[in-house]
Chains A and B, each alone.
Chain A
Amino acid sequence: MFLHQLGYEQRVFWRTREAAVFVFIFPLLLYALLGTVYSGEVDGRPSQDVLLAGILGYAAANTGLGGLAITLVVRREAGLLKRLRATPLPPGTYLASVLASTFLVFALQSVALLTLGRLGFGASMPASWPGFAGAIVLGVACFAGLGVGAASLIRSAEGVSAVVNVIILPMAFLSGAFGPTREFPSFLQAIADVLPLTYYLEVVSRVYLDGSSLHAFPGALAIVVAWGVVGAIVAWRRFGWAPRARAG
């Protein structure tokens, strides 16, 4: 039943043009644009590599938090989740297949980003593939947790994409996904210091560029995981299957 649902999740994702463009194409486009603008070195590393790590982090937040929250809120408000609750499909199986589908999308996206980076800008391949794969899983776990949490708090299907973009874009900017934040005023850096993406980017860039193993940075790892857990707890306490906007 899990695979049955996962297959349909994938079919629906790729067929829903808005989702496929927003979630899948947009980070690639951003990388292509910024990659064309930036050149030279950042902190002694080739800029296309630093940027690739940054966009990977942004893509994790965009796919995990953004894409998932939009999908869940739209389905909930359409009454589709409520409808599913009356079928024998166990809610856990449903959520697991939605999460697995999100993971598949992000994994494909990472491969696409690497390919684009390699062919378009001569970016490096990951120094450690197992570490890189681990970082992908970590990213989905953290931001999907936040995505389900956000979906539990957002009330209307109309507002959801605005809300997630208001969260994700500033977060990505502050965390340094689009370029170094060294010159930022200290209060912005202070905000960045609590954001999950800051630490996720640290993990990704070390793993991708230096070939470090994931557990080399327990501090950053713990913060990323903690954010995911916070999202999951909010989801656990607040997630509803019935539409919110329309009392009924």
Chain B
Amino acid sequence: MSAIVVRDLRKSYGPVTALRGVSFEVEVGEVFGLLGPNGAGKTTTVEILEGYRRRDGGDVWVLGHDPGAAPRALRERIGVVLQHSELTPTLTVRETHRLFAGYYERPRDVDEVIALVGLTEKGDARVKTLSGGERRRLDLGVALVGDPDLLFLDEPTTGFDPGARRSAWELVRALRSLGKTILLTTHYLDEAQQLADRVAVIRGGEIVKLGTPADLIGASRETEIRFRRDGELVVVRTEEPTAVLHRLTEEALAAGRELEHLEVVRPTLEDVYLELVEEEATPG
């Protein structure tokens, strides 16, 4: 069953085309990553799904609803973490959760949610006294308080230090194990690789690759062989690593030399991603 269906989604802002026919589906219980550089169309896509923006063309279904009509029944079942949003600085963490809980028909227990996002000790602290990482956890708590089936996370760890990112990742994994469907945008590859069951790489308003992180890497057949010869780094890229490696070792053995610092590496998601995104850099 699909939580989200997007077919041939199109959107322009005046003369600028932001989305030129984007299609994908997100299964129930899946963590789906939209990965791409800034301005690729990630936020536009998510904001159409959240009901903030109108689409110019295509079909969109979110939990069986058309978000363009922004039905309240849909808003009961989604949770949203925006890239930039602040909550009322003079309310406490618990008050903020209670305030939002009051908007939903069947909210979760407020203290449970506060514990889930790790803010129990800050329950009575005013929002303005929280650190940046704590505020993002508050955003997440507020998004969870309505007990949503589907969660939108727009660049949830941008600006985090490494420790805060790790704990945010743990949190997303915990949510996944609760059976939540999560749509996550990010421009961090490791984040997509760590969290997403499937990833769509979006570039210039189009999806250029879609699959599991392993699929995306597997799609590239090149292998890199690196070693040092007289201190100089030699890099050989090949689609036939067995044959190339055999030849190299044979030569080295015959000459009585060592292939120093020999490495045979598969491309990382980062390499695949950079390859995909760099094509965009060429003017066209």
Contacts and interface: CB of A to CB of B under 8 A. Distances in A.
A83 B52 CA distance: 10
Contacts of A8: 91, 95, 99
Contacts of A82: 52, 82, 85
B84 A243 contact: yes
A1 interface: yes
Interface stretch (B72-80, B175-183, B246-254): B72-80
B52 A87 contact: no
B85 A87 contact: no
A88 B148 CA distance: 12
Q: Is the interface of A mostly helix, strand, loop or mixed?
A: loop
Contacts of A246: 84
B90 A86 contact: no
B91 A86 contact: no
A87 B76 CA distance: 7
Interface stretch (A11-19, A206-214, A231-239): A11-19
B15 to A, nearest CB: 15
A4 interface: yes
Interface string A96-138: 0000000000000000000000000000000000000000000
A80 interface: yes
Interface in A1-46: 1, 4-5, 8, 11-12, 15-16
A1 B82 contact: no
Nearest to A93: B103
Given A80-B88, A83-B142, A88-B72, 5 more contacts: A4-B102, A8-B95, A8-B99, A12-B91, A88-B103
Interface of A: 1, 4-5, 8, 11-12, 15-16, 78-80, 82-83, 85-90, 242-243, 246, 248
